[in-house]
Amino acid sequence: MNTRKQPAATVLFLLISAFAFAQQKPATPSLANSVKPATPDSTRKINLVRSDLLRLENKDSVQLQILVGNAILRQGKTVFYGDSIVMNQQKNTIEVFGNIHINDADSVNVYSQYLIYHGNERVANLKKSVKLSDGKATLTTEELEYDLNSKTGTYLNGGKIVNGSSVLTSKEGFYYAETKDAYFKKNVRLIDPEYTMATDTLMYNVNAQLATFVAPTTINDGKSIIHTSSGFYDMKNGTANFGMRPTIQDSTQFITADHINFNKTTGEGYAEGGFVYKDTAQGVTVLAEKSFFNRDNNTFLATAKPLMIIKQESDSLYVTADTLYSGITYDTVYVKDSTEELQAKKKIETTKADSLLKEIGHEDSLKINFILPDSNKIAPVRKINNIDSVRFFKGFHHVKMFGDSMQAVSDSMFFSGRDSIFRLFNSPVVWAKESQISGDTIYLHTKNKKPERVEVWENAFSISKSNNEFFNQLKGNTINGYFKDGEIEHIRAKGSAESLYYLQDDDSAYTGANYAQADLINLFFVKKALDKITWIHQVEGGFYPIRQVPQEHQRFRGFIWQDARRPKSKEDLFE
């Protein structure tokens, strides 16, 4: 036998066998579960591109191709790489081991250490250090099912997606590489330098960086905590639309409504439907149907039946208006720093007061120099010790206030937490128990959120109803009233002052009336009853029997009993 011809004959036999194996049509045996019979569609056929070693092996009556070393297969536009591959042409499946790489149409790349691929279904099951990348995001997990038809990756035992600086983890995930949409479930966490997010279910578009909420979700953007159950958040632009009673909360304020539109970049937002704003630091709550707000500036403009509630010890003060606006001002507290006076002398020639005023409030450690009229004298350097924020409120049109001890109405109102004064403008009226006080402008001073003092300017008028016929009256250019436990204890009228007060005996029978004119009139009360009257400078008047009070004195000029305007309950605030 010619032994030199034997190797050549063996190689020729292997090549003829491999060619015959490749050409034979696969059988259609009964396959297990989801594996479908091979299809005659040539686009589903897996073709050998190369390998270092090819070996044929029969197993369970099925011939397998064993590819070892730098193995490459192709199916249409999809290329498979691996250290070794077992290919079953009958079932049109491959099993790949080591350094696996799937290049899907040059758009998606998948890596792992183990792969089973069903060519008819075009579904890949990957394990061990799985990574999927589409140029926008990178998904890593230990087990992944990748559907090449829909370009969908699915993991059920924990995974992570990295998109730029954003990292999203979850127990289960579904990633659609073509549309860049992702759907995550169970223990979802999204971490970014600008925010963190936690939820149970989240839809996210990697391309647009758009998160859609379908379950209770918590967002922490470094400034506040946001809770929502529906809506979306544009991570790229910082804009959001939240539904189903979302909340925005930080250390001093709380905001909620049926729907909230919010811009994280500017802090601006719009809330609609059952808007609630709480200033937890100052005990103030505002309710409305609609409101514009700025979280960063701590401002809001509430419309559509706004109601402000100022919490008090025993009761609360309720304020309504057509529109309520609130913001923050800053009180700066200074302390003397005499050790820097020498530095002040060097700087004072170049310092301008106008520019310094603009800088106040921007730097806690700012040193401020002042130029005195006498340039030879230098004011001591003053250093900002601390800056306190103070909330203020403005009410526009149809302002009404209700509390157990005090009620008021006006056209507009300003209130500041700095001095706790309600400033009422345009036809204001204040009621305290049986007393009505009116004028062009009224300042209502409060202490511990209770009325303490009232100041009335121009056309000041105080009226208290004694019975249906008699009214005690006090009038002047200005009126100052002082309260104790919600009752007027002392009231003073100044400037063209007039007073009329009806007197009663021990049996409460009316005996007469005291009428007087003076530059200054003081009335003092004990347990709501008049205890003493004093008249100062240019006093005129006297005592009249009850039925002899002159007609012109019974009702002072400008007398209007405005009980119809008085809010008698919280419900009256919206009538």
Q: Where exactly are the structural domains of the chain?
A: 38-134, 338-380, 405-571
d(CA 497, CA 521): 6
Pick the CATH number of 405-571 from 1.10.10.10, 2.60.450.10, 3.30.420.40, 1.20.1730.10: 2.60.450.10
Q: What's the 3-state SS for 462-497?
A: EEEECCCCCEEEEEEEEEEEEEECCEEEEEEEEEEE
pTM recorded for the entire structure: 0.71
Residue 153, pLDDT above cutoff 70: yes
CB 540 within 8 A of CB 518: yes
d(CA 449, CA 442): 17
d(CA 212, CA 229): 10
Band of the pLDDT at 499, cuts 50, 70, 90? very high
Band of the pLDDT at 526, cuts 50, 70, 90? confident
Mean per-residue pLDDT of the chain: 82
Q: What are phi and psi of 18, to 5 degrees?
A: -65, -40
Sign of CA pseudo-dihedral 439, 443, 445, 449: positive
Residue 13, pLDDT above cutoff 80: no
d(CA 441, CA 410): 9
Q: Please give the pLDDT value at position 123.
A: 96
CB 464 within 8 A of CB 499: no
Residue 31, pLDDT above cutoff 70: no
**Which residues in 163-184 are b (16+ Cβ under 10 Å) and which e?**
beebebbbebbbbbbeebbbbb
pLDDT in tens, 254-313: 999 999 999 988 999 999 999 999 988 778 899 999 999 998 888 899 999 999 998 766
- The fold of 38-134 is lipopolysaccharide transport protein A fold (2.60.450)
- Average the pLDDT over 352-367 and give the result: 38
Least confidently predicted of 79-83, 158-162, 363-367: 363-367
d(CA 325, CA 27): 79
- Average the pLDDT over 63-78 and give the result: 93
Residue 478, pLDDT above cutoff 50: yes
In 247-358, beta strands by DSSP E: 247-249, 253-256, 259-263, 268-279, 284-294, 299-303, 307-311, 316-320, 323-336
To which residue do tokens 């009556």 refer?
61
Residue 219, pLDDT above cutoff 80: yes
Q: Please give the pLDDT value at position 386.
A: 53
- Average the pLDDT over 353-362 and give the result: 39
CB 316 within 8 A of CB 455: no
Cβ neighbours of residue 561 closer than 8 Å, sequence gap 6 or more: 436, 463, 465, 471
Band of the pLDDT at 4, cuts 50, 70, 90? very low
- Average the pLDDT over 377-406 and give the result: 74
Helices (H) and strands (E) in the chain, counts: 4, 41
